Chain A
Amino acid sequence: MLALKEVGKTYPNGVHALERFSAEIPPGEIIAIIGGSGCGKSTLLRAIAGLDRASTGNVTLDNAVISSPHAKIGIIFQEPRLLPWLSVADNIGFGLTDLSAQARRERIAVALARVGLTDKAAAWPRELSGGQAQRVAIARALVPQPEVLLLDEPFSALDAFTRRDLQDHLLDLWADTRPTLVLVTHDVDEAVVLADRVLVMRPRPGRLFEQITINLARPRDRKSELFDTFKRRVLTALDRSLDRSVRDVTDKSSAGEAMWW
């Protein structure tokens, strides 16, 4: 169980990015975190990954506090971040240092086949298209078989067709070992296609605004009416989350004005 307990983050420059975010995510659940820019989505994900430490509260995985990168937590970034000096195969095997060479090769071969890039094993990252590179990044993160996989807007740099293809592909890969997925996105469609639960955040400081459970059977039909209903629900929540924060700001400023007068 991945548990976030009142996680807050204030950066050294004083920016209050995240405030008292709590959630419990059982194993195998797919969570999408969605919200306007500056609502602390990425901050939250980095705290779960152990890349940045939370200022308040804590993140625990099976009751162990996460304060630095953890073997059971993998992450996929917005960019593939492949190491340009390693072949595709070596990039995928980057995290498999404690295996024998033979076992490592086998695991890499399976992963390559799984993401459909067997013929690219010896290629350099620069020879891949954007979608292929992101597949390699997915394979690299999944090959050590993490219990939790974090995704920070992983498909946002791709064109719409490739994005859809990779969303389906991700679900397919997820079904192999069913890790917990925590996906940060700003794409409502993506959130509803992938997630069991959508957490809508509101900005300044980032806070949990609303949770929407998507109880739609998979594979989900993007054109179905029910799908649209869920999308609309998430969109409405998003709108409200932004509206309210806007009103907060105007309230404050008008209060300030009143005092000034």
Chain B
Amino acid sequence: MAMSVDLPALEQTAAPRAAPARWSRFARPALGLLVPVVCALGWELVVYLGYSNGRLVPPPSKVFQTIVELARSGELSRHILATLWRVGAGFALGVVTGTIMGAISGYWDFAKRLLDPTVQALRAIPSLAWVPLFVLWLGIFETSKVALIAVGVFFPIYLGVMGAILSVDRKIVEVGRVFRLSGPAMIRRILLPAVLPAYVVALRVGLGLGWMFVVAAELIGASEGLGYLLLDGQQLGKPAQILAAIVIFAILGKLTDWLIEVAAAPLLRWQDAFGARGGA
């Protein structure tokens, strides 16, 4: 039997993969650091040269010194752990409920008609409006804080999962039907991989909101946590402590976001998207 297969020249357009040069692995993140580093050094210089006393906007060295002092006394790790725990618990709760509700509403039209209007109405409420109620219901300790963070995380996850399922290409689902996939196999082999990119985005948005809400929760009433450090710095007139807390928030926020990105990257290598040019 004739095994020869003619490949016409015009089909041999093998996509030349842009092999990233070795230096760019380091140069790319370094480029992102350029602006903040230049600003920090500039301000440091302004204060050093005496153009400003740096009392209200302390120079980076002072902020760094505050962080070091807080770390030495053991305070810092206590505050960080308290905040991380709250974000972690609230995020987990929000992700689980948001994923389940989003999946049900996306998969089952009746559930969407039943639940979605209520969820959308609840979403329209500014989440901080829940605070007094949560405090009354759940007390002023951890539970109300975790609940508030979970509420913040819930909505983007719910919307992301539901929207992703609703927008799965019917034609791809039909491929599953042609190969006679069972319900669970259809979910595992078609729906889950198809919604994964949108789900990862939803997780990242949800986590960002989680960090936002932990500050709100800790500003309201807490004796520890990075939000407490902020409030404490304001009340005692310690701008360096406020900035230190802000810097740590930034670092933790970026770090946790990066963790999601890194964890998801191997699952999303197939994506054909503008953003996939360079990779994470």
Contact = CB atoms under 8 A, between A and B. Distances in A.
Nearest to A137: B175
Contact of B179 (A84, A94, A129, A131): A94
B172 A114 contact: no
Interface string B126-164: 000000000000000000000000000000000000000
A69 B173 CA distance: 13
A94 B177 CA distance: 12
A116 B10 contact: no
B190 to A, nearest CB: 7
A116 B179 contact: no
Interface residues of A, number: 36
Contacts of B272: 84, 124, 126
B175 A116 contact: no
B171 A79 contact: yes
Contacts of B236: none
B19 interface: no
Contact of A69 (B1, B5, B179, B194): B179
A162 interface: yes
Contacts of B15: 127
B271 interface: yes
A172 interface: yes
B122 to A, nearest CB: 33
Given A69-B177, A69-B180, A161 B10 contact: yes
Contacts of A216: none
A116 B11 CA distance: 11
A113 B1 CA distance: 13
Interface in A19-77: 49, 51, 68-71, 74-75, 77
Nearest to A127: B15
Interface string B1-23: 11101111011011100000000
B8 A161 contact: yes
Contacts of B114: none
Contact of A81 (B14, B174, B269): B174
A169 interface: yes
A34 B249 CA distance: 66
Given A161-B10, A165-B8, A176-B1, A83 B178 contact: no
B171 A126 contact: no
Interface in B179-215: 179-180, 189-190, 193-194, 196
Interface in A135-187: 159, 161-162, 165, 169, 172, 175-176
Contacts of A79: 171
B178 A75 contact: yes
Interface in A102-142: 113-116, 124-127, 129, 131-132
B270 interface: yes
22 contacts: A69-B178, A71-B180, A74-B178, A75-B178, A79-B171, A81-B172, A81-B174, A83-B175, A85-B193, A86-B270, A94-B179, A95-B179, A114-B5, A116-B7, A126-B272, A129-B13, A132-B11, A161-B8, A162-B8, A165-B11, A169-B5, A175-B1
Given A84-B270, A113-B3, A124-B270, 7 more contacts: A51-B177, A69-B177, A77-B171, A84-B271, A85-B270, A124-B272, A131-B11
